[in-house]
Structure 1
């Protein structure tokens, strides 16, 4: 599979789980049109945005095994005590994925375990 189709699939699935607005926020763009263009392959997110979206997808799939997309979306946007009361989406958007990834995944696993 090419990088391009890999990215379009990633964005498409993430949009289904999180909604276009949250995907736009995670990808550091201001409009959902960019998300649609990423999903249909007419525009490519930056390499940094792709790293963030991959992390978000990993977390979203983990949470979606147990909860429906609205719960997953709320988890991404809510203040999280395991993350110093920072919303996971904000950490993913503003932090280095290599550094925040393990913390966000640990918080997601804890949530998935207890609900």
Structure 2
């Protein structure tokens, strides 16, 4: 069983806090695709993701928090999984999140509950 070092999890968290939303949207879009990034950010259209990437718009505070949490989870999962697997993880039902997908959990729950997604991502690394 491969267990990722805590340092890499911590590094993912540091990046999630320090990067601009444009950098986060760019990196997340590369792995998750623009539709999933828009969905997690609470947007109904994908064009807003391009606006975030280009710095023409900024997400609301709640959307920003959701995107940063998703980026943190993405950083954890990238230590072990490829993009297709990570996309499936974000879209699939997760028993640690009440059988809701991580993307839906992030979109619909209060940003304060988003840390549950990080727990689920860490669990995915050891299971």
Q: TM-score, normalised by structure 1?
A: 0.89
In the alignment, the residues of structure 2 paired with residue 51 and residue 33 of structure 1 have an alpha-carbon distance, to the nearest angstrom, of 20
The count of residues paired between Structure 1 and Structure 2 equals 109
- Does 2:108 match 1:108? no
Q: Deviations over 1:2-50 (max 9, x none)?
A: xxx8111111111112110000001111111110111011111111111
- Does 2:71 match 1:57? yes
In the alignment, the residues of structure 2 paired with residue 106 and residue 47 of structure 1 have an alpha-carbon distance, to the nearest angstrom, of 22
Which has the bigger relative contact order, CA under 8 A and spacing at least 6? Answer: 2
Give the C-alpha shift of residue 87 in structure 1: 0.6
Instruction: Tell me which stretches of 4 or more aligned residues in structure 1 moved more than 4 Å.
Output: none
Give the C-alpha shift of residue 108 in structure 1: 0.9
Q: TM-score, normalised by structure 2?
A: 0.81
The structure 2 residue matched to 1:21, chosen from 31, 35, 43, is: 35
- Does 2:18 match 1:12? no
Q: Deviations over 1:64-108 (max 9, x none)?
A: 111011111110110111211111111111111222x23211111
Map 1:90-105 onto structure 2 (within 5 A).
90-99=104-113, 101-105=114-118
Q: 1:102 to 1:47 in 2, by over 3 A?
A: closer
Which position in structure 1 is the counterpart of 2:103? 89
Flag structure 2 segments of 5+ consecutive residues without an equivalent. 1-18
